[in-house]
Structure 1
Amino acid sequence: MRYPLLGLLMATSLAAHAEIQTQEIPYTAADGTKMVGYYAYDDAVEGPRPGVVVVHEWWGLNDYAKQRARNLAELGYSALAIDMYGEGKNTDHPKDAMSFMQAATADADAAKARFNAGLDLLKQQQQTDAAKLAAIGYCFGGKVVLDMARQGVPLDGVVSFHGALATQTRAVPGSVKARVLVEHGSADSMISLEDIAALNSEMVAAGADYQFVNHPGAKHGFTNPGADKSKEKGLDLAYDKQADERSWANMQRFLEDTFNNPRP
């Protein structure tokens, strides 16, 4: 005999007790720098699930990056917002952000080592299926995840949101193992048409599984509701609700397809 009401009550009870669990986890990069990761997962999901690294904007590991980790946890992923600057530092001052970013990207090998330290931490979490890994990044973080794909870091997929596209570490044929999705704003004054054309040529020449999505009228920072405040600092940033929601939906489909249909 079936008891649909009992099943409904049990499901409701489970949903009521399900929560997104979060914690800050200290770790150390290969160069000895002390880092802080922000980890999130849904305790209602049983067993290991795909892991996704989140790489912050040039502001550093702030509340926005942590929110995106929680958003991914709500989708059922094991998510870790990593620290590329050290000691979890962040700022809301453009000059400081520029200084932090330049220091973090001055040495490509060191940047890769810092990313890999975060990726290793994610793989160590019991909720993570270490055979299914991806990374998403915003602004500076978009550049980081693209560079990791270019350098063949073992990821199934990467997603760049309004990320910097230029690089000194160009992909070569066969080097890009991850699927690549770039979500870009057509009105992004910080990215040149030459940068876009160069990325397209680079990815095609490298034989990458690559998608580029242009959001009409969207400016740099279009996913971040706090971007509009940066106008006061003289930065050409703006939140775009439609582009934010569409790019997030694109990411969801991309990750689902990537994890369910891995590249051979």
Structure 2
Amino acid sequence: MVASAHAAVKEEPVTYTDGETTMKGFVVYDDATQAKRPGIVMVHEWWGITPHIHNEARKFAEQGYVAFIADMYGDAKTADNPKDAGALSGSVMKNPKAMEQRFNAAREQLAKQPSVNPQRIGAVGYCFGGAVVLNMARTGADLAAVAVFHALLGPNTPAPAPGTVKAKVLILNGADDPFVKREQYDALKKDFDAAKADYRIVEYPGAVHAFTNPESTELGKKFNLPLRYDAKADQESKAEAAKLFATNLQK
């Protein structure tokens, strides 16, 4: 699928609920075409819904997808420091059932968009969001393909049974990311191999955490964290994700 040469990417807020919690997501799409398109659920970094996830969603919309920015914290909460970000992300990761409910609520909102083909839905996640998306793949979420960038790999859900993982899984991480341990890769491979999942891991030499976020270098300096933008890894990983979705969503 090729986006229109006269693409006009629109972004609209979408209010939805998870139980009694109000969620504030965004649908991002090119309104130059009326054709139904594949959809991609986008899950933010631990900071919450920031300019980074908006920019990423626009890029996918320009490629011919309808992107839905999921609100995993409720009321579009954001954090401007690691302590608060850790508290917000931890509240989700420690409650896998709530994580699943919030992800599925976002997926449902995406699937009901009039411009979306509900049979062709994937997901993308960054950092914390990558962990969310990987956990959803492990639980058998109805997704054709998922790509995760600088994802945290510690599982928060049980090892999947054979045949459970429906999605093609692409993990795009920095080879020098200190937040991801070798034993976590080993555990993930063991689980996915046993589940007969279709997955691939790509590691980018020299890249550390948050390499797709242009703001990460300054955030790393500000908070003394191993965060750094890496233009080469960013470009190469996005090309890998584009191929994954072109093959598995744009059929």
Please give the TM-score of this superposition, normalised by the length of structure 1. Answer: 0.91
Structure 2 CA distance, aligned partners of 1:260 and 1:233?
41
Q: Structure 1 pair 77/102, CA: closer, same or farther in 2 (3 Å)? A: same
Q: Which residue of 2 aligns with 1:45?
A: 33
The 8 Å contact of residues 93 and 156 in structure 2, kept in 1 or not, is answered as no
Kindly report structure 1 stretches of 4+ aligned residues shifted beyond 3 Å.
none
Displacement of 1:228 = 0.4
Q: Which residue of 2 aligns with 1:149?
A: 137
Identical residues among aligned pairs (%): 40
1:237-252 matched pairs, under 5 angstroms:
237-252=227-242
Please give the TM-score of this superposition, normalised by the length of structure 2. Answer: 0.95
Q: Which residue of 1 aligns with 2:204?
A: 215
1:53 aligned counterpart, secondary structure: strand
Displacement of 1:61 = 1.1
Structure 2 counterpart of 1:203, which letter?
F
Q: Bigger radius of gyration, 1 or 2?
A: 1
Q: Deviations over 1:202-236 (max 9, x none)?
A: 11111001010011110010111111012220111
Q: Which residue of 2 aligns with 1:6?
A: none
Structure 2 CA distance, aligned partners of 1:43 and 1:78?
10
The 8 Å contact of residues 160 and 182 in structure 1, kept in 2 or not, is answered as yes
1:110-189 matched pairs, under 5 angstroms:
110-169=98-157, 170-189=159-178
Q: Tell me the number of residue pairs that the alignment of Structure 1 and Structure 2 aligns.
A: 246
1:201 aligns with 2:190: yes
Displacement of 1:172 = 2.2
Q: Which residue of 2 aligns with 1:36?
A: 24
Q: Which residue of 1 aligns with 2:12?
A: 23
2:245 aligned counterpart, secondary structure: helix
Displacement of 1:188 = 0.1
Q: Deviations over 1:86-142 (max 9, x none)?
A: 001112210000000111122111110000000000011111100000000000000
The 8 Å contact of residues 230 and 236 in structure 1, kept in 2 or not, is answered as no
More helix per residue: 1 or 2?
Answer: 1
Q: Which has the higher contact order (CA 8 A, sep 6+)?
A: 2
Q: Which residue of 2 aligns with 1:4?
A: none
Structure 1 CA distance, aligned partners of 2:92 and 2:138?
17
Query: What stretches of structure 2 of length at least 5 have no aligned partner?
Result: none
Structure 2 CA distance, aligned partners of 1:191 and 1:86?
27
Displacement of 1:42 = 0.5
Displacement of 1:15 = 4.3
Structure 2 counterpart of 1:216, which letter?
P
Structure 2 CA distance, aligned partners of 1:149 and 1:43?
30
2:194 aligned counterpart, secondary structure: helix
1:76 aligned counterpart, secondary structure: coil
The 8 Å contact of residues 11 and 29 in structure 2, kept in 1 or not, is answered as yes
Displacement of 1:260 = 4.4
Structure 2 counterpart of 1:193, which letter?
R
Structure 1 CA distance, aligned partners of 2:219 and 2:167?
33
The 8 Å contact of residues 125 and 148 in structure 2, kept in 1 or not, is answered as yes
2:79 aligned counterpart, secondary structure: coil
Structure 2 CA distance, aligned partners of 1:189 and 1:249?
24
CA RMSD after TM alignment? 1.2
Q: Deviations over 1:140-174 (max 9, x none)?
A: 00000000000001000111100111113122211
2:193 aligned counterpart, secondary structure: helix
Displacement of 1:45 = 2.3
Q: Which residue of 2 aligns with 1:108?
A: 96
Structure 1 CA distance, aligned partners of 2:5 and 2:44?
30
1:43-82 matched pairs, under 5 angstroms:
43-82=31-70
